[in-house]
Structure 1
Amino acid sequence: MTHKKEKKMGAFLDKPKMEKHNAHGAGNSLHYGLSSMQGWRVEMEDAHTAVIGLPNGLDQWSFFAVYDGHAGSQVAKYCCEHLLEHITSNPDFKGADQEPAVENVKTGIRTGFLQIDEHMRAISEKKHGVDRSGSTAVGVMISPKHIYFINCGDSRGLLSRSGKVHFFTQDHKPSNPLEKERIQNAGGSVMIQRVNGSLAVSRALGDFDYKCVHGKGPTEQLVSPEPEVYEIERSELEDQFIILACDGIWDVMANEELCDFVRSRLEVTDDLEKVCNEIVDTCLYKGSRDNMSVVLICLPGAPKVSPEAVKREAELDKYLESRVEEIIKKQGDEGVPDLVHVMRTLATESIPNLPPGGELASKRSVVEAVYNRLNPYRSDDTDCAAADDAW
């Protein structure tokens, strides 16, 4: 599995940083929660935006995005603060008393991306090209009638409708035929599935070292800042939720797995921050080595908390607690087994009602809490995900 930011082994910490940044909000018949975590990376390079009610008369509209930075966090941070303003202040959006035409919205979003990229290039040139960072961007603009998915790079957004993955954005990878053609036309090459053997995304904001081919426009460079924009008509009854996440999440969970996991969590809690925290923890325990950010936006048709699901979850937690106690006691004179041994033992068993998509990894914190309670003098190297990549 390759990661676009993995240049050398020194880019990782000895232990993952598991502190999380959270936020939540509601409005325009939406509820959202988000979570981001540095994980094993030396630096946190992700950023995000969540805005309910947009300027220029679009108070019924909302905008959410995740930015996954590489080679530094500057571009991701700048975009999270200014991209929306570049989109909504251009003529396709201005003075819209009613819902602008779909094609105007799509053109306006594209124009906003190209404008902010040029603006950041000018800033970088003033600093004599000091900033070499770049960032992917995945977002949604939600109007009363439409959902506009916006993608530039390999972060991903998806829509769950009627209990299924209805739509997901396509990752922009250098090996994709159309992307590869553009790269080669600009005099570049695709080696080891990377642009010039180095960058693992073919579209991104920033990355100005890959945007200097004379005689080629901004969308014809080795790396293009042009987003793909897809509009979907909203279905009030069937649309459930939207997930936006960086590749630190998608590296270890497939679209259907993550959707199934989120649906199962929404049946046991309506705390969206908690659901997002469970997503990033589960992905860490599934082996993700990257920064992780996820935004979950619940639409009116989202699953509701179910008493039966809450009861099943409580029974599962109780069962896991008793099994951890049994595994520890079974060792007897041999001493307390480490946490990795406990998880590996549980992984060989058929445990009923584990969350779909998350499986045992999503219950790691429950197992760890019981283990720590029964073994207060444990060595620190059994903590968290630090001891295993794993079980």
Structure 2
Amino acid sequence: MGAFLDKPKTEKYNSHGEGNGLRYGLSSMQGWRVEMEDAHTAVLGLPAPGMTNWSFFAVYDGHAGSRVANYCSKHLLEHIMSASFGNGGTQGSQTGSDSSASDPTTPPSVDRIKNGIRTGFLKIDEHMRTFSDLRNGMDRSGSTAVGILLSSDHIFFINCGDSRAVLYRNSHVCFSTLDHKPCNPRERERIQNAGGSVMIQRVNGSLAVSRALGDYDYKCVDGKGPTEQLVSPEPEVFDMVRAPEQDQFVILACDGIWDVMSNEELCEFVKSRLEVTNDLERVCNEVVDTCLHKGSRDNMSVVLVCMPNAPKVSDEAVRKDAELNKYLESRVEEMLSQPGEEGFPDLVTVMRNLSTDGGMPSLPPGGGLASKRSVVEAVYNRLNPYREEDGPSCFI
């Protein structure tokens, strides 16, 4: 599950939108992987009576192929909605007295939504098992899924696998979903009870996640239900009451992002970029580029959902960012104006020299010098006529 290219594919897919008091941007990049296996969903306004003020966002990180991730990106929301608003929702509800079960215009209760999300995951996993290529083993793909379902009052965090969602509230990381890794005690116990083992932090020494959609090779233990298999399709669902005066943004991302940036680093970096630009696609592109330059070897996808209280563009931040860019440009010009005996330094050497520059103005928090590699590279490419077209992408 880990073949790599000779050089990364850096073309990006971008999208953005606005509605329901939210703004979102997203970016995805294939990177060093031989195939793009990530997918995403972004829906402002759910197609159900009384639900136009609800929104849904998700990131899917596929493995062993893109089939499951792509199908879920198109159909998971319908399964959740069917379970929450249709007959499936009535069956999944813990209480038969939920008034929304009989009145489709009444928003469902928190418990019913949470049960509907869980039921939707189990239903789509059961449905995909009927696909001939997945059933006969011709396609062995699976996918993580991380998402948020937002109403005007609540945020439902949904996670199955090791992609992650974080909430930035009052200038702090307020909440993060929990990664489902085989070495987690509860996950390990389920795996062992199903007759499996955890070796080199993987299910049976092979799969690096303990919950996922698809992956039917790990869901065929006789006598065990769908949530008791080696790999479970059951999501963990958390609900939080929204705090309009404090909530700033939510980030959804696959592990290609989290492998090289912590929750705090990524949120601080996004905050610093939102103070420089209100173009959310640009912010997401900078996240993906920065993670590539920090050494991520995986597909990378990020969705940024900004609430009304998100950081605003600051004149001072814009000025400081421009000054930093100008400083970097002048330093690169200086290094390339006096080539040594071996000629022009390569880009990696330039970046390493800059990393030890004691006079450097403050770099973007969380992103560091890696987040400014494109600025350095632009000057380097302009001034060095002997550059190699395809040098290393990571300078660390």
TM category, shorter: over 0.9
Residue 362 (structure 2) pairs with residue 353 (structure 1): yes
TM-score, L = length of structure 1: 0.95
Aligned equivalent of 1:70, options 57, 63, 68: 63
Give the equivalent residue in structure 1 for 2:395. 390
- Where 2:371 maps in the other structure, the secondary structure is helix
Asked if 1 retains the 8 angstrom alpha-carbon contact of 2:149 and 2:155, the reply is yes
2:63 is aligned with what amino acid?
A: H
SS in 1 for 2:207: coil
Counterpart residue identity of residue 73, structure 1: S
- Counting only pairs closer than 5 Å after superposition, residues 298-337 of structure 1 correspond to structure 2 as 298-332=306-340, 334-337=342-345
Give the letter for the 1:88 counterpart. M
Structure 1 vs Structure 2 CA RMSD: 1.3
Q: CA separation in 2, counterparts of 1:127 and 1:148? A: 32
Partner of 1:120: 128
User: Residue in 1 aligned with 2:97?
Assistant: none
Alignment of 1:249-288 (within 5 A): 249-288=257-296
1:21 aligns with 2:43: no
Match of 1:89 in 2: 82
Amino acid at match of 1:16: P
Equivalent in 29, 32, 38 of residue 30 of structure 2: 38
Match of 2:378 among 331, 347, 369: 369
Tell me what 1:179 maps to.
187
In the other structure, the counterpart of 2:73 is 80
The CA deviation at 1:27 is: 0.3
- Please report the TM-score for the alignment, with normalisation by the length of structure 2: 0.93
Q: Distance in 1 between matches of 2:12 and 2:27?
A: 6
For 1:166, which of 159, 170, 174 is the aligned residue? 174
The percentage of aligned residue pairs carrying the same residue is 71
The unaligned stretches of length 5 or more in structure 2 are 90-99
| SS of residue paired to 2:205 | coil
Question: Deviations along 1:224-250, whole A, 9 cap, x unmatched?
Answer: 000000000001110000000000000
- CA distance in 2 between partners of 1:234 and 1:96 (Å): 24
CA distance in 2, matches of 1:126, 1:100: 34
Which residue is equivalent to 1:52?
A: 44
Q: CA deviation at 1:334?
A: 3.9
Secondary structure, counterpart of 1:346 in structure 2: helix
Unaligned runs of 5+ in 1: none
Q: CA deviation at 1:376?
A: 3.3
SS in structure 2 of the partner of residue 160 of structure 1:
strand
Q: Distance in 2 between matches of 1:284 and 1:148?
A: 30
The separation in 1 between residues aligned to 2:68 and 2:271, in whole angstroms, is 33
The CA deviation at 1:122 is 1.1
Provide Cα deviations, 1:335-356, integer angstroms capped at 9, x if missing partner.
2111111001001123222100
2:303 aligned residue (290, 295, 298):
295
Aligned pair in 2 of structure 1 residues 108, 265: CA closer, same or farther (>3 Å)?
A: same
* TM superposition shift of 1:194: 0.4
In 1, the alpha carbon distance for the partners of 2:236 and 2:7 equals 37
Match of 1:143?
151
Q: Who is 2:390 aligned against? A: 381
| Matched residue SS, 2:31 | strand
- Secondary structure at 1:122's aligned position in 2? coil
Q: Does 1:213 align with 2:221?
A: yes
What does the per-residue CA deviation read over 1:91-145, in whole Å, with 9 as the maximum and x for residues that have no partner? Answer: 3387542331110000000000000000000114786232210000000000010
Give, in whole Å, the separation in 2 of the partners of 1:306 and 1:239: 19
1:61 aligns with 2:59: no
SS in 2 for 1:381: coil
Measured at CA, do residues 202 and 126 of structure 1 come closer, stay the same or move farther in structure 2, by a change above 3 Å? Answer: closer
The residue type equivalent to 1:19 in the other structure is E
Question: 1:171 is aligned with what amino acid?
Answer: D
SS at match of 2:209: coil
